[in-house]
Amino acid sequence: MNAGTNIGTIHGVGLGPGAADLLSVRADRLVRTAHHVAYFRKAGRPGQARRIVEGMLRADVIEFPMEYPVTTEIPVSDPRYNACLSAFYTHCSERLAAISQQGEDVVVLCEGDPFFYGSFMHLHARLSGRIPVEVVPGITGMSGAWTATDLPITWGDDVMTVVMATLPEAELARRIRETDALVVMKIGRNLPKLRRAVAAAGRMDAAWLVEHAAMPGQRVTMLAEAEAVTPYFSILLIHGQGRRP
């Protein structure tokens, strides 16, 4: 709680790529002492962020699972998709604000880093300026992925590009072709399209697929050799080969 006020703070806490021992000291302290904990999850599932902190929460913790609305049947380009998610994030923000206004702090558990393609950003945009919000950075999933390959992702003057597999295939191929080092996230059902884009860019032999980085079941394979994969927790990498002493 903020000193001298009756308003609690919303803490967006980065949990890192998936292992509890990769949390920062600050994140660990906040998670273990939190009375109110919120986290995103799909309906009917415990949620990856909640799984990471299993066994760390205090006995009297009050949990607020924020369950995503079903949007898979609506194309991303359809205005209804954004409208559905916007209403969801607004509802979650108001619930958190209500807890804060009762003088209670809330820890929002965030996979990876809260400000790197995470859902917490949508809460922050709605709460900042109204309610005290603090962010604890975390190790990103892509950092966990390139560490899993046991190879540096960049050297010297390498330029690294981070792209989403949701981009159009031609745009993916162009960006893959033009960069030195590459990270592709949000693969999901876009894996076949991503394979074609990597092949079109002529970089299939350099592309790695890392599944469940820093989690149980971590697997590292060359994209050309990958067959059955778990695309949701997969990141594609191409390592830079730049200047070295």
Rounded Cα gap, residues 97 and 133, in angstroms = 10
Instruction: Tell me the DSSP string of 112-148.
Output: B-TTSS-THHHHHHHHTTTS-EEEE----HHHHHHHH
Rounded Cα gap, residues 93 and 21, in angstroms = 29
CATH 3.40.1010.10-classified regions of the chain: 10-139
Is the pTM higher than 0.85? The answer reads yes
Rounded (5°) CA angle 16-17-21: 60
Q: What is the pLDDT of residue 232?
A: 72
Q: Are strands 106-110 and 10-14 parallel, antiparallel or unpaired?
A: parallel
Which CATH superfamily hosts domain 10-139?
Answer: Tetrapyrrole methylase, N-terminal domain (3.40.1010.10)
Residue 153: name the closest of 242, 22, 233 by CA.
Answer: 242
Q: Are 107 and 61 in contact (CB under 8 A)?
A: no
> Which long-range contacts does 160-169 make (Cβ < 8 Å, 24+ apart)?
160/240, 164/117, 165/190, 165/191, 165/193, 165/194, 165/236, 166/76, 166/190, 169/193, 169/196, 169/197, 169/200
Q: What is the pLDDT of residue 14?
A: 98
Residue 27, amino acid:
A
Token pair belonging to 161: 């590009």
**DSSP type of residue 233:** G
Residue 199, amino acid:
A
Q: Are 117 and 141 in contact (CB under 8 A)?
A: no
Rounded Cα gap, residues 201 and 134, in angstroms = 41
**How far is C-alpha 172 from the geometric centre of its chain's CA atoms?**
20
pLDDT tens digits in sequence order for the chain, 245 residues long: 655 568 999 999 999 999 999 999 999 999 999 999 999 999 888 899 999 999 999 999 999 999 999 766 677 778 888 899 999 999 999 999 999 999 999 999 999 999 999 999 999 999 999 999 999 999 999 999 999 999 999 999 999 999 999 999 999 999 999 999 999 999 988 899 999 999 999 999 999 999 999 988 899 999 998 876 666 789 999 999 999 99
Q: Half-sphere exposure of 191 toward its Cβ, with a 13 Å CA cutoff?
A: 19
Rounded Cα gap, residues 6 and 204, in angstroms = 57
Secondary structure class of 67 (helix, strand, coil)? strand
Token pair belonging to 81: 């998709």
Residue 151, amino acid:
L
Place of tokens 């600050």: 26
Report the CATH architecture of 142-238.
2-Layer Sandwich (3.30)
